[in-house]
Structure 1
Amino acid sequence: MSSLKRKRADNDDEKKILAMILSKQGMGATPYDIKAATSIQGPLVTKALKSLKTKKLIKDIQNMNNKGIKHFFGFDVEPCKALTGGDWYTDGQLDLAKIEDLKKICVTILSKSKKKVVTFDLFVAYFEKTNNEMSREQTKEILKNLVLDNVVMEVKSNGMNEYAGIRIGEICYRLTGKKAGDGGEARAGAFASVPCGACPHIGLCSPGGAISPTTCSYFQKWLDF
């Protein structure tokens, strides 16, 4: 319903309160803010807010950081993430089902990868292609969650073997061997100890360069292992 088809504020109190709320945009306004800004008495503010909500000129949500406080917004205004809890909250509740579904998708992508290693940009491209409305930051948060669960490990490309074609030093992800929610121990395998992932000079490493896999004593020891 467009704002043109809605009823309008009937009196000066409603007009003042509506104007004040709209001026706050995504941050909204609490009843205390409204009383302080308009000098309208509490009972009249409560009455006006109820009337404006009935007319669908405003709406309210609870502050995620203090659920005893309501913030009022223009009916078509999107509340800021600081109040709603961010992208992972729906109607003030953490959307665990959505998070778990996205984690499963990431694990499936990794398990179906022929090289068993996937770059961050490939995850982003997948979600863009499937119209999943996942931002880069959200994708990063899901992968970080999987790393904390010890289901996925974050590694850096060394440009060789399964990393062939991936820029040296680029962040990649691979499965640890532990399934999400199985409660078992992670099975990282011998690759978990490859020195490249923790090397501070990985960005300068290249075949034939001053720093290279062929001259690296740590890498040679790992190959011997």
Structure 2
Amino acid sequence: MSQPGGAGGSKTQITAAILQEAYIHGCQNNNELSPDSLKSLGWDNSVIVRVLNIFTEKRLCSVKKNKSSGLLSSVNNKVVFQLRTEEVACKLNKLSNEEYLVFCSIEDAGNQGIWTADIRKNTGLQTHVVQRAVKVLCNDWNLIRPVKSIHVKNRKVYILASLEPSKELSGGTFYENGEFDMAFVDNIKEKIISFIDSKRKCALQEILEFINYDMNMDSSSARKNISLSDLQSVINMLIVELKIICVKGGNSNSSENFFMCLKWPESLSVTPEAEDVPCLACPVFETCSWSFESQILPCPQLCKYMDYSLNNCKPLLPE
């Protein structure tokens, strides 16, 4: 597009095409606009200022603030504007000034959320005005939603409807409505054990792909995936419970860990030392016949290392 503005300093009309170009430019730059970024379109300062003013008046953008300090965010000492979607802007233009103030306060809080006392403090509005605005934003426009904090059980905080609450606020995948969901964790543990048992051994990424696929196929589950760190937490629980064990890769050059199920007779007293089984570090583990029928492949009944581990009464001499 050619530069808006004619010669002789004549005032440029800000057309719909100019506004659309600015909006598309922001969408392509992480939904952010700044005077410097708009200069790359070849526009002079007067056009840029008027475009940003129009966006602000139409509630298409907000001044971006630093989440930690609450101060205006900037790039090279220039104010940065955060674009909103046209759908959200359309709803915002139907709000009263008080309702819009409340929305902006919640928007600034990001995924950490904010409760009504802090909204009142930020906006200077009376309690009943804030409460009414929150109700309108939630119920009438679906712009915000309440989230239960795991830290303060009886306090609701509010975030934008389009955001997921932070892990610090909601507790993450294993929490539901502010409460730890033990049934969900137990279900994941059972699936992990069943999968590892069916494969004999599994790498962490294999388990993650299976669990997320299974969750996506379960139409009754609201949760559709877990992260690698979430899975690692459950894996660690199973290791502590002596239900699975982590073993280094089958060959000496492999640094990858894999996981195996531990199965113990009910009569056996299981202790952490029980996992010191030579098979788990055996160089021929991959070819060992667990059926006890092979006369060619290595097998437990002919294994001198197994004999030594079970008897533990005489030194194992090299052949």
Q: Same fold judged by TM-score > 0.5?
A: yes
Using the size of structure 1 for normalisation, the TM-score is 0.69
Q: Distance in 1 between matches of 2:105 and 2:231?
A: 37
1:109 paired residue number:
195
Structure 1, unmatched stretches of 5+, are 161-166, 198-219
Contact 2:153 2:178 (C-alpha < 8 Å) held by counterparts: no
Which of 11, 28, 34 is residue 96 of structure 2 equivalent to? 11
Q: 1:99 to 1:5 in 2, by over 3 A?
A: farther
SS in 1 for 2:154: strand
Q: Map 1:47-66; keep pairs closer than 5 Å.
A: 47-55=132-140, 56-66=142-152
Equivalence for 1:209: none
Could you list the per-position Cα deviations for residues 51-92 of structure 1 after superposition, in whole angstroms to 9, with x for gaps in the alignment? 322313322122111113221122332222211110111222
Alpha-carbon distance between aligned partners in 1 of 2:134 and 2:127, rounded to the nearest angstrom? 11
What is the DSSP-based 3-state SS (H/G/I as helix, E as strand, rest coil) of the residue aligned with 1:68?
coil
Partner of 1:123: 207
Counterparts of residues 135-154 of structure 1 (less than 5 Å): 135-154=227-246
- TM-score, with structure 2 as normaliser: 0.51
Identity %: 17
Give CA deviations for 1:173-197 in whole Å, capped at 9, x if unaligned.
1222159xx8984388976244987
Q: Contact 1:176 / 1:188 at 8 angstroms: preserved in 2?
A: no
The aligned counterpart of 2:176 is 90
Is the contact made by 1:117 and 1:172 (CA closer than 8 Å) also made in structure 2? yes
- What stretches of structure 2 of length at least 5 have no aligned partner? 1-86, 217-223, 282-303, 310-319
Q: Which has the higher contact order (CA 8 A, sep 6+)?
A: 1
C-alpha distance in 1, partners of 2:279/2:192?
A: 25
1:144 partner letter = N
Q: Which residue number corresponds to residue 208 of structure 1?
A: none
The 1-side partners of 2:267 and 2:237 are apart by 16
Aligned amino acid, residue 154 of structure 1: C
CA deviation profile, 1:144-192 (whole Å, cap 9, x unmatched): 12112221122223528xxxxxx5342221222159xx89843889762
1:108-129 C-alpha deviation (Å, 9 max, x unpaired): 122222xx33222322343355
Flag the 1:183–1:151 CA change in 2: closer, same or farther, 3 A: farther
- Matched positions, count: 192
Q: Is the 8 A contact 2:106 2:158 kept in 1?
A: yes
Counterpart AA for 2:211: F
Residue in structure 2 matched with residue 31 of structure 1 by the alignment: 116
Assess if the C-alpha contact under 8 Å between 2:242 and 2:272 holds in 1: no
> CA 1:75–1:190 in structure 2 vs 1: closer, same or farther (change >3 Å)?
closer
